[in-house]
Amino acid sequence: MRGLDEAAAHFRAGRLDAAAQVYRRLERQAPDDVRPGYSLAVIDINQGRLERARDRLVAVVAREPRMAAAQHNLGAVSQSLGEWSSAAEAYARALDLNPAAGESRVGLAMALAALGRSAEAVKQNRALAVDPTHRWPALTRIALIDAGEIGDDDLAAMQAAASDEATPAAQRVGLWFALGEALERRARDADAFEAYAQGNRLQRAALDVAAAARANAQAAAYVTEMVTPKFVAEHVGQGGQSAAPIFVVGMPRSGSTLIEQILASHPLVQAFGETGLLPRLLERGYPKTAAGLRETAARYLGGLRARGWDGSSRVVDKTLENYLHAGLIGVLFPRAVILHVVRDPVDNGFACYRQLFAEGNETLYDLADIGAEYLRYRGLMETWSARLPGRIVEVGYEALVTDPETQARRLLAEAGLAWDPAVLRFHERQAAVQTASASQVRRPIYATSAGRWRRHAERLQPLIAALGFTPDSKGNGANDGT
């Protein structure tokens, strides 16, 4: 088609708007040719217009289902939008068209894991592990999906690769965390802890931890200076009166995904995971006027609708960063529910130490740093509880896993929802789960994670000291610092 070379030249030179103009003209001239529409979708991806890119790609593959690149990109866009079922379908079609496409298989494996189809995800990663290019990331993913799938030969190979400085640094980090899971599964606690320690040291060395800690402290200072008791009294309710949102906040690895999945199993509740909506709306600072509060509340609810909220169901937002903004949430949405998930501080800290986070959380790769971050977070939550009396509901992780039905009934009552036994079958829910707890919440509630830290008590002394945690004579503990 005449003009394709001109558009491609614009694209290669970074003149995306000029390229798009040519492709749109070509699309009008030859509506049956899928190439202009596909190229426009690629430009949309590059410019961050993912919904439009998805729609274009759906149209392209409807006309030309054997276009492997379009199927793969549809999978990638759907994945970015959190549409995991669509992502899995598109990646699978791309892989059928090109079985050697490693990136399509990686995407399919990730989508299957998010959908709880663990055995299928392991199978895809096993296929990837045959290829040296994908071997270590694939074995890492297998260990994180199900550490029992890591055999002795896998374990030895992973240990050798993790110890080899020639292995790319990011892969070494992932391998050390995966080895920790596999070794813990074998009850080799000391070796597992050392693997976690190696992974944390390597990851921390690649981060600017001091800058992140300063930023976290500055953020906490800013929000407490903005949302004063006077500000609450003068502005509460000026944002909106919607009672739909249920905000789940807390420290990472505190059990928030479990709470979300229980609530989301109720027929009158929708859940969208860690939306990040409110933090993004507040990046330039807090609104200070009634008009600004109304706009922020409206934009937040609009963002939920864009993610699929039906406008009438209750909706769970488990963006953990919202603990910073709980004070403002109380002002914006005085009828919303704020659930604060609380877990034993040492178990919580150790769970963070065992986790390689996808992004952020730079201060959670050292035991003493974790303790300091935990104290900062709990101090801020105590401030919000004092400034919003009765508004923040604490939900204890240990109580929930010990007596699920009693605590689930309380949870629904606090959220203003009628009891429904479906919430106890949360592990049967088919929706995707994208967090670090994805594999755990596919199983019925279990209590084996409670008190896990005691197996590593001596090794966790830097965390215990930072928390001011004092075990009693029975091995139980009390946090003296929160």
Strand order in the sheet with 337-342: 269-271, 314-317, 245-250, 337-342, 392-396
The 3-class secondary structure across 6-44, one letter per residue, is HHHHHHHCCCHHHHHHHHHHHHHHCCCCHHHHHHHHHHH
pLDDT at 210 > cutoff 60: yes
Distance (Å, rounded) from C-alpha 423 to C-alpha 400? 13
Per-residue pLDDT at 452: 78
Q: What is the mean pLDDT of residues 468-474?
A: 55
Q: Please give the structure tokens belonging to residue 130.
A: 């045959």
Residue 237, classified by CB atoms within 10 Å of its CB into exposed (0-12), middle (13-18) or buried (19+), is middle
pTM for this structure?
Answer: 0.86
Out of 307-311, 403-407, 432-436, 468-472, least confident range: 432-436
Helix (H/G/I), strand (E/B), else coil: 312: coil
Specify the residue for token string 């949430």. Answer: 329
- State how far the alpha carbon of 182 is from the alpha carbons of 313, 340, 409, 470, in Å: 41, 31, 36, 30
- State how far the alpha carbon of 57 is from the alpha carbons of 36, 161, 249, 306, in Å: 11, 39, 36, 19
pLDDT at 472 > cutoff 70: no
pLDDT tens digits for 123-136? 999 999 999 999 99
Per-residue pLDDT at 244: 95
pLDDT at 96 > cutoff 90: yes
Q: Which residues contact 126 (CB under 8 A, 6 or more apart)?
A: 138, 142
Distance (Å, rounded) from C-alpha 161 to C-alpha 139? 11
User: What's the whole-number average pLDDT of the chain?
Assistant: 91
Per-residue pLDDT at 442: 44
pLDDT at 339 > cutoff 50: yes
What is the enclosing helix (H) or strand (E) of 307? Answer: none
Share of the chain above pLDDT 70, in %: 92
Per-residue pLDDT at 474: 35
pLDDT tens digits for 7-52? 899 999 999 999 999 999 999 999 989 999 999 999 999 999 999 9
Helix (H/G/I), strand (E/B), else coil: 470: strand
pLDDT band (50, 70, 90) for residue 427: confident
